[in-house]
Chains A and B, each alone.
Chain A
Amino acid sequence: MNTEAVGKTYPSTTYAVGREKIKEYAFAVGETNPLHLDVGAARAAGYRDVVAPPMFAVVYSAPSVTPALFDPEVGINFAMMVHGGQEFVWGPLVVAGDGITTTASVKSIEERAGNGFFVFASESVNQDGETVCRATWTNIVRGVA
């Protein structure tokens, strides 16, 4: 396997978090907590605006992580790829109006038992410089050897 892409870092992207996008995401995953849906409830609880569910990290990270997955230098065969594992570590909550800057990189590429393990890392920082999420994305490509 070609492991030359290990350590490669991709251009940062900044995602503008919108109130209606949070609501759309919350409905799609079944979140009913008013902090995600009702700006009045969010403000009463001390937040500037509606709060993104933690897993909304998928949405603001994607513009940086997706180009890494599709990078020809990484060389993933998508027909054989499965999402093997995922980790998120969260910092302060993200709210509507935030601008979240994410940087993705290739953490490791390894072969184990004939399968390729492609691990990506991403870090997301808000407009105040606080790390709101660190993520590890593990994709397994069957039959690389």
Chain B
Amino acid sequence: MNAGDAIPELRTTPDRFLTVRYAGASGDFNPIHIDEDFAKQVGLPGRILHGLWTMAQVARAQTEAAGGPQSLQRLAVQFRGMGVPEAEVEVSGEVREVRDGVALIDTRAVQNGKAIIRNAEAEVRLPTIQE
């Protein structure tokens, strides 16, 4: 992994019931994520994805690129707009620089042509080559 390299894209489509499974797994049962009627009552198009689920996809793109969970040192994101179930989420990223074995990666998550996570920065420790 060198400056200017792209990380492999991660593409995933959250199914209709993903937000229910993520609510149970994370403990975030905010009804805007699991109750279609409630979400519409508060002015949303329908149930929306948990931002932290989308952030977990950004994290997974980094750990899959760098060889495992031990590589991820830091991840900072901004959430924008909202993600929805049943539409593909695509995570991409490029290495900005590598310093002392740690790659700084500019990364984002896009759905329906819009960044739902933007200005994200990841720091991943690169595997050391064993002789």
Contacts and interface: CB of A to CB of B under 8 A. Distances in A.
Interface of A: 21, 24-25, 27-31, 33, 35-36, 51-55, 58-59, 62, 79, 82-90, 93, 136
B59 A53 contact: yes
Contacts of B59: 53-55
Nearest to A31: B60
Interface string B27-63: 1100000000000001000000001110111011001
27 contacts: A27-B21, A28-B21, A28-B26, A29-B56, A30-B60, A33-B64, A35-B68, A51-B69, A53-B69, A54-B63, A55-B56, A58-B52, A59-B25, A59-B26, A62-B27, A83-B51, A83-B52, A83-B79, A84-B78, A85-B77, A85-B78, A86-B76, A86-B79, A87-B75, A89-B74, A90-B72, A90-B74
Nearest to A24: B25
B73 interface: yes
Given A86-B76, A86-B79, A33 B63 contact: yes
Nearest to A45: B68
Interface of B: 12, 18, 21-22, 24-28, 42, 51-53, 55-57, 59-60, 63-64, 68-70, 72-79
Contacts of A33: 63-64, 68-69
Most buried by B among A24, A29, A90: A29
Query: What 3 pairs across the A-B complex have the smallest Cβ distances?
Result: A28-B25, A87-B76, A29-B56
Contacts of A58: 26, 28, 52, 56
B121 to A, nearest CB: 9
Given A29-B57, A79-B42, A86 B77 contact: yes
B9 to A, nearest CB: 14
B27 A59 contact: yes
Given A54-B59, A86-B52, A28 B69 contact: no
Given A24-B24, A29-B22, A31-B60, A86 B55 contact: yes
A121 to B, nearest CB: 13
Contact of B69 (A35, A59, A83): A35
